[in-house]
Amino acid sequence: MQKSSIHIVKEQISKSKKIVIISHYNPDGDAVGSSLALFHFFRHQGLDARVILPNPFPDFLNWMPGSEYVLIGYKHLNTAKRMLEEADMLFVVDMNAAHRSGRDLEDPIRNSPAFKVLIDHHPNPNLTCNYQYSTTKTTSTCELVYNFMAKRLKQKADITLEAARCIYTGMITDTGSLSYACNNPNTYRILSHIVKMGVNGEEIHRLVYDNYSESRMKLLGLSLCKRMNVLSEYATSIIYLSLKDLADFGYQMGDTEGFVNYGLSMKTVVFTAFFIQREDRIRISFRSKGSFDVGQFAAKHFGGGGHRNASAANYYSSLEEAIAEFKRILPQYQEEIVKFLGK
């Protein structure tokens, strides 16, 4: 499909009657942030905009302005499908393909007759759309949403404080509070602008990070004490949690968000994998330091994908088998991983 110019997008927005914004399954700070930032931006202009997220977002994002208006797609599937059918504009954010919203929303997204805009920072965008704004060279989709509004549409003045707070949230949650994917001066220009607008970074940090459940803290303790192995000769660590572990500690959705980063925070570790057992599969998250590309690793060996330093995959077998498979593959990368040690 021939991609439209930004002028056509602008014209589409101005005459749009029903704008729908959708993001990925298991929405994180960036998915919720980028969706709600657009929501506030359009509402501010008097446009009818609505957000669909496939399933509930974690509790620590409940405070986000506008979150009470989000439609949870899998709870209200027929409504979600009807909204996608009736939308005249559809914004797909923080995901590179329709199936990221889950099986039941994949076709409704693809078949929606709406004018489609994709805004995303994952590699290999794969959605037929009218306008695509996709690059991996950014902190987050929230940063791209800011650029889209301020630079492409040239409507900086329509970014409200609520939208700015949402943008800030995605920028910090997708970068481990600006500890990776954050070496671009533009990132700080945006932060400077939105802090000037009145965004309180300290408050958002407190709302997001000092907002954990008791079950999360106990699961974290278990993970680090009893479920972490460091494979020193490979500068690699693994953490795993079984269904029983989750049940024993009263797991709630979102509790293990970010656990994978603990595996990487050791001086002697360059590569880490976090295995979590779900009802029907093992979800594996990978993280790395430096040039070791875990996006490619996940794609090649586990049918997953993601970014150079952060990726994920599903493995349809037992937890033990997933870990064994990982350990079988690891030796071929030993040299590549270890060479980053101490850098």
Residue 144 or residue 276: which is nearer to Mn ion going by CB?
A: 144
Q: What is the number of the residue whose Cβ is closest to Mn ion?
A: 30
CB of 143 to Mn ion, least distance (A): 9
Query: Which residues, 6+ apart, have CB-to-CB distance to 205 below 8 Å?
Result: 172, 177
Nearer to Mn ion among residue 16 and residue 26 (C-beta): 26
Q: Among residues 121, 128, 235, which one has the least CA distance to residue 170?
A: 121
Beta carbon nearer to Mn ion, 30 or 162:
30
Q: How far is CA 222 from CA 175, 227, 262, 287, in A?
A: 25, 6, 12, 20
CB of 166 to Mn ion, least distance (A): 13
User: What secondary structure letter does DSSP report for 154?
Assistant: -
Q: Which of residues 11-70 bind Mn ion (CB under 5 A)?
A: 30
**Contacts to Mn ion from residues 133-152, by CB under 5 A:** 141
For residue 257, state whether it binds Mn ion (rule: CB under 5 A). Answer: no
Contact pick of 174, 245, 257, 293 for Mn ion (by CB under 5 A): 174
Candidate ranges 109-117, 151-159, 172-180, 324-332; the one touching Mn ion (CB under 5 A): 172-180
Least distance in Å: CB of 11 to Mn ion?
Answer: 28
* Spatial distance between the Cα atoms of 149 and 151, rounded to a whole number of angstroms: 6
- Closest distance between Mn ion and the C-beta of residue 30, in Å? 3
Q: Is the separation of the CB atoms in 96 and 109 below 8 Å?
A: no
Q: Is beta strand 228-231 parallel, antiparallel or unpaired with respect to 236-241?
A: antiparallel
Which of the stretches 96-104, 129-137, 170-178, 309-317 binds Mn ion when contact is defined by CB under 5 A? 170-178
* Residue 94 sits in the site that holds Mn ion (CB under 5 A): yes
Closest CA to 20 of 69, 75, 74: 69
Q: How far is the CB of 94 from Mn ion (least distance, A)?
A: 5
Q: How far is CA 130 from the centre of its chain?
A: 23
Q: Decide: 108 and 71 in contact? Cβ < 8 Å.
A: no
120 binding Mn ion? (CB under 5 A): no
The footprint of Mn ion (CB under 5 A) covers: 30, 94, 141, 174
